[in-house]
Structure 1
Amino acid sequence: MYDFQKVNKKKILVVGDIMIDTYYTGDVSRISPEAPVPVFRKDNERSVLGGAANVAANLIAAKQDVTMMSIVGKDENGVKLLSLLQESGISTELIIESERKTTEKIRFLAINNQQVLRLDIEDCIQISEKECKWLLSKLEDNLKSFDLILISDYLKGLLTYELTQGIILLAKKNKIPVIIDVKDRNIEKYKGATLIKPNRKELGLLTGMPVATKEELIEASEVLRVKCDSDYILTTCGAKGMVLIGQDQPYFIESVGREVFDVSGAGDTTIAYLSTCMVNGFSVFQSVEIANYAAGIQVSKVGTSSVYWKEIEDYLANEKDLFSHKLLIGNKIQNFRKEHEKEKIVFTNGCFDILHVGHVRYLQEAAKLGDQLVIGLNSDDSVRRLKGEERPVNKQLDRAEVLCSLGFVDYVVIFEEDTPYELIKEIQPDVLVKGGDYTADEVVGKDIVENRGGQLVLIPFVEGKSTSKIIEKIKQ
C-alpha cells in the first residue's frame, strides 16, 4: 500500500508557459440566419489557471510549496493571471512582464458540457536574450531553496534552448532533479533531465521512430533516454495507459477505468503528482501509479481542474480499485523488491480456498513480522494438481479478492507452479512464514531467504480449523 503519511511540503519550482483557461457556458439551439453556423448564447463565464500554471495549481492541491517562473503580458489578462496565481498560494516572484499578449484559451461549452469551439489568443514569441539571462540569474540566486524543478513546455516562447539547458545545468550542478513535460521536437533542448514525459505522438516526433506497438514504444523510449542522458522516460498513451523506461525492465501501467468527460489538463495533473511523489521519496514505480490514479480522476471532471489527495485516497478505498492495486502481476512483481528495498517484506503462501478463522489469525500474526505482507496464492490449476480435481471450490480471482479485502494483507500474487520457489526468488522476502504443521527443512524457499540474511518463522494453525474439514462438513 502507499504511505501517504510521508508526503511533506517540498519546495518545487515550476518553469513553463502560463495561460488563462476561460470557459463560456451556454446554449446552442439555433442556426444563424447569416451563415450555416450555430449561434452560441452565453450564460456564464469562468477563468482558471492553464498551461504550466495548472501544473502549479495541481502541486498546490498536492500540498506542495510552489514557485512559478514564467513570463506574462502587461495586459488585463496578465493582471488576472497573476491574481489567480497569488490567490492559489503560488509564489510569483520569478515571473517577468513583457509586451507580449498573455495567452488565453477560451472554450465554449454547450449542453452536457459539450465543447463546441476553442478560441486561442496568444503571441508565441521567444523570450529575448536579456529576459533569459534575468531568469537564469534569479534562478541561480534562489536555486538552493528548491527540492525539485518541474519544466512544463507548451511551446509558447518561454522555454528556449538556452533557458532550458541553463536550468538543467544549474540543477545538475546542485543535484536537484529536473522533470520535464515536453512539447518541442528538439531532443538536445531536454538533454540531462532526470525524467522526460512525452505523450505517444510527441515521442514519435522527438525520435522520428514508429510508436504504434509496445515494442516500438519501448525502442523509441530507450533511444530518447540514451540521447537525452536521462534516468527515465514516461510516455503517456491516453486510454492505453503509460509506459516507463529506465535501466530496468519496461513498466507498463493501464489507465484507470473511469468515465472520461474532459481530457484537458490530464497531462498537467500527471506530471504534478509524479513530481510530488518522487520528491517525497516514493519509488518511481509508485509515483507513476499514483500519477495514473490522479489523471484518471482528473479526466472525470469537466474543464481544467486540480486533483486533491483526498480524492485519490477515496478512490483507492473503493473495494474494486483496492483489489486491483493489491494484486501483483507482470512488471509489478519484477520491480517489487526495488520499490520496497527499505521495508521488511513478509511472505507466505497457500491455496486459501475457503477462508476461515484459522487463516485469518495466521495471516494476522504473519503481518506483525514486518512492514509488507505478501501472499503467494496457488492458481486454480496448481490447486487442482495438489488437492485433486474437485478443488478449488473458489476460483483464483475470487480467492485473491477475498484476501485483498483483509486490511493487514498488503499484496497478493497468483502463481502457476506447484511451489512458490521461483516467486520467492523474485520477491526476495526478509521473513518467510509457514504453518506449524511444517518442519523447517520442509519449507520451500528457506534457503533463498536465509542466504540473504532473512529468517523462517513457523506459526501454529488454530486447532480444528481447516478447509478440508469445512468441505467434509458441507458434504455431510
Structure 2
Amino acid sequence: MSDPGFFGRAFALIDRLPSCRILVIGDIMLDEYVWGSVRRISPEAPVPVVAVSRETKSVGGAANVALNIAGLRAGVEVAGLVGNDPPGREVARLLRKSRIGLSGLIRDGKRPTTVKTRVIAHNQQVVRVDREGSESPSDGARSALHAAVRKRVRDCDGIVLSDYRKGALSRELVAEVVETARRRGIFVAVDPKQPDFSYYRGCTMITPNRSEAEAALGGKELPGDLELGEGGKALLRCCGAKAVLITRGEQGMTLVERGSRTVFHIPANARQVYDVTGAGDTVIGTFAAGVGAGASIRDAALLANVAAGVVVGEVGTVQITAEKLVRALQARERERDAALERPAGRAGRRTTPPR
C-alpha cells in the first residue's frame, strides 16, 4: 500500500460504516452448496462420484451484496424479485436472519426464484447447476418493485444496482433510480451485466470486471495498464459516471475518475485464491458502503480491494465482515512496516570490501 496514511483512514472509515444506510436493488437468487469428496470415477460415465458430507445455502446476487454491506455493520435494505416458492422463502429467511431490511422483496408468482447449485469436492468446484425461469417479470411484480423502490430511496445514503440480467432492473427502473438519486444528491453504484453501459447513464460509479468492460467497448481487448486506463475513460464517457473501477482478478483493480489525469492501478491483495464466487458482490458492497460513510472514491476502492482479497481466500459465497476487514488491514499494515524497516537495517552494511 503506497499511501502511508491509508491505514489510519481505513480504520476510521470502518468505525463510521454503521452511520450509513445503503439500498441495494437488483436480481436476487439463492446459492446452494453441496460439499463432499471424490474417491472414484463413475462406472456409468467418465465423471467423478461425489460422496456428500453436507449442504449449505446462502443468498446470492443483489442479496449477497446486501449481506456483505450488513457484515460491515452498515445499514442496508434490499429490493428485488423472487418467486412465490420455497427458494424464495428461504431467501427471505436468510435475509431476515442477517437483519437485512426486506420489505422491498417482491414475490412474483409468474416465475421461479433463480437457484444456483454448486458441487464442491476438496475445495474445488466440480459442477454448477442453474435453475431459473426465462419469463420476464409479471407486470404486477414489476409495478410493486417500482413502488417499493420509490418508497425506500428516500431513506438511504446511497444506492447499489446489482444487475445479473435476470429482469429486475428494467431500463425504466434504472433511469428512475438515477434521476431520483440525482435530485437527492446521493450516489448510484452499478455492478453491470448489460453490454451497453449507456443503460446505466447518469450513475455515479460502475464496477465491471475486465471481460464486462471489454464487451462494453465492442470486444476491444484491455490486456495491460495502458489499455485499461484508456478503456476506463471511454466507459466514463459512455455512461456519464464519475468513476469506473475495473476488477482484474489476480492483477488487482484499475480506478479511473472523471477529471483526474491519473489512472490508479491497485495491486491484488489476496494471499491465496480458492474461489472467486461472489467477489464482485463484495467489491461493490464495500465500495458503496465506504463512499456512503464519507470516504473518497479512491479510499473506498482501496478498502474494496482488501475485502476482495479476504473473500477469495475462502470457498463458497463468503460474507465480508468488519472484523475480517480489520484483521486484513492490520496484517497488511504490519507487512508495510516490516518492509519500511528492512532498508534501514541494511543501511550501514558494506556491499564491497573496504580499500
TM-score, with length taken from structure 2:
0.89
Q: 1:179 aligns with which of 189, 200, 203?
A: 189
Q: 2:227 aligns with which of 216, 219, 225?
A: 216
Give SS of 1:292's match: helix
Give SS of 1:17's match: strand
- Provide, for residues 416-447 of structure 1, a one-character-per-residue CA deviation record: whole Å limited to 9, x for no partner: xxxxxxxxxxxxxxxxxxxxxxxxxxxxxxxx
Question: Would the alpha carbon gap of residues 81 and 219 (structure 1) be closer, same or farther in structure 2, given more than 3 Å must change?
Answer: same
Indicate if the aligned counterparts of 2:205 and 2:244 stay in contact, CA closer than 8 A: yes
Counterpart in the other structure of 2:278:
265
Amino acid at match of 1:289: L
Of structures 1 and 2, the larger Rg is shown by 1
Counterpart-to-counterpart distance in 1, 2:343 and 2:85: 69
Counterpart-to-counterpart distance in 2, 1:21 and 1:325: 40
Counterpart-to-counterpart distance in 1, 2:187 and 2:169: 18
Give SS of 1:25's match: strand
Q: 2:20 aligns with which of 10, 17, 32?
A: 10
Counterpart in the other structure of 2:330:
317
Counterpart in the other structure of 2:60:
50
Counterpart-to-counterpart distance in 2, 1:66 and 1:286: 21
Indicate if the aligned counterparts of 1:58 and 1:269 stay in contact, CA closer than 8 A: yes
Indicate if the aligned counterparts of 1:150 and 1:180 stay in contact, CA closer than 8 A: yes
The structural deviation recorded for 1:81 is: 1.0
Q: 2:200 aligns with which of 151, 167, 190?
A: 190
Counterpart in the other structure of 1:371:
none
Q: 2:320 aligns with which of 284, 289, 307?
A: 307
Q: Which has the higher contact order (CA 8 A, sep 6+)?
A: 2
Counterpart-to-counterpart distance in 1, 2:163 and 2:217: 17
Indicate if the aligned counterparts of 2:38 and 2:50 stay in contact, CA closer than 8 A: yes
Counterpart in the other structure of 2:117:
106
The structural deviation recorded for 1:218 is: 1.1
Indicate if the aligned counterparts of 1:132 and 1:163 stay in contact, CA closer than 8 A: no
- Provide, for residues 185-222 of structure 1, a one-character-per-residue CA deviation record: whole Å limited to 9, x for no partner: 12221100000110000001011132112121111111
Indicate if the aligned counterparts of 2:21 and 2:292 stay in contact, CA closer than 8 A: no
State the superposition RMSD in angstroms. 2.4
Give SS of 2:142's match: helix
The structural deviation recorded for 1:126 is: 2.9
Indicate if the aligned counterparts of 1:132 and 1:162 stay in contact, CA closer than 8 A: no
The structural deviation recorded for 1:40 is: 2.2
2:44 matches 1:89:
no
Counterpart-to-counterpart distance in 1, 2:143 and 2:271: 45
The structural deviation recorded for 1:47 is: 0.6
Q: 1:290 aligns with which of 303, 306, 311?
A: 303
Indicate if the aligned counterparts of 1:136 and 1:167 stay in contact, CA closer than 8 A: no
The structural deviation recorded for 1:303 is: 0.6
Indicate if the aligned counterparts of 1:354 and 1:394 stay in contact, CA closer than 8 A: no
Indicate if the aligned counterparts of 2:270 and 2:310 stay in contact, CA closer than 8 A: no
Indicate if the aligned counterparts of 2:23 and 2:152 stay in contact, CA closer than 8 A: no
Give SS of 1:261's match: coil
Question: Would the alpha carbon gap of residues 321 and 216 (structure 1) be closer, same or farther in structure 2, given more than 3 Å must change?
Answer: farther
2:251 matches 1:240:
yes
Counterpart in the other structure of 2:49:
39
Structure 2 unaligned segments of length 5 or more: list them: 1-7, 351-355
Indicate if the aligned counterparts of 1:10 and 1:280 stay in contact, CA closer than 8 A: yes
Give SS of 2:31's match: strand
The structural deviation recorded for 1:322 is: 4.7
Counterpart in the other structure of 1:61:
71
Indicate if the aligned counterparts of 1:181 and 1:198 stay in contact, CA closer than 8 A: yes
Indicate if the aligned counterparts of 1:55 and 1:268 stay in contact, CA closer than 8 A: yes
Question: Would the alpha carbon gap of residues 107 and 319 (structure 1) be closer, same or farther in structure 2, given more than 3 Å must change?
Answer: closer
2:296 matches 1:279:
no
The structural deviation recorded for 1:137 is: 2.6
Give SS of 1:235's match: strand
Counterpart-to-counterpart distance in 2, 1:22 and 1:90: 20
2:82 matches 1:72:
yes
Deviates more, 1:20-29 or 1:122-131: 122-131
Q: 1:255 aligns with which of 255, 260, 268?
A: 268
The structural deviation recorded for 1:321 is: 4.9
Give SS of 1:318's match: helix
Question: Would the alpha carbon gap of residues 12 and 215 (structure 1) be closer, same or farther in structure 2, given more than 3 Å must change?
Answer: same
Indicate if the aligned counterparts of 1:353 and 1:394 stay in contact, CA closer than 8 A: no
Counterpart in the other structure of 1:423:
none
Give SS of 1:312's match: helix
Counterpart in the other structure of 1:434:
none
**Count of matched residue pairs:** 337
Structure 1 unaligned segments of length 5 or more: list them: 328-351, 356-390, 396-476
The structural deviation recorded for 1:296 is: 0.3
TM-score, with length taken from structure 1:
0.67
Counterpart-to-counterpart distance in 2, 1:325 and 1:267: 31
Amino acid at match of 2:254: V
**% identity of equivalent residues:** 34
Question: Would the alpha carbon gap of residues 270 and 61 (structure 1) be closer, same or farther in structure 2, given more than 3 Å must change?
Answer: same
Superposed, 1:65-464 pairs within 5 Å as 65-98=75-108, 99-110=110-121, 112-208=122-218, 209-246=220-257, 247-248=259-260, 249-318=262-331, 321-323=334-336, 392-393=347-348
The structural deviation recorded for 1:97 is: 0.8
Give SS of 2:169's match: coil
Counterpart-to-counterpart distance in 2, 1:306 and 1:67: 16
Amino acid at match of 2:202: G
Amino acid at match of 1:302: V
Give SS of 1:323's match: helix
Counterpart-to-counterpart distance in 1, 2:344 and 2:338: 22
Give SS of 1:135's match: helix
Give SS of 2:307's match: helix
Amino acid at match of 1:282: A
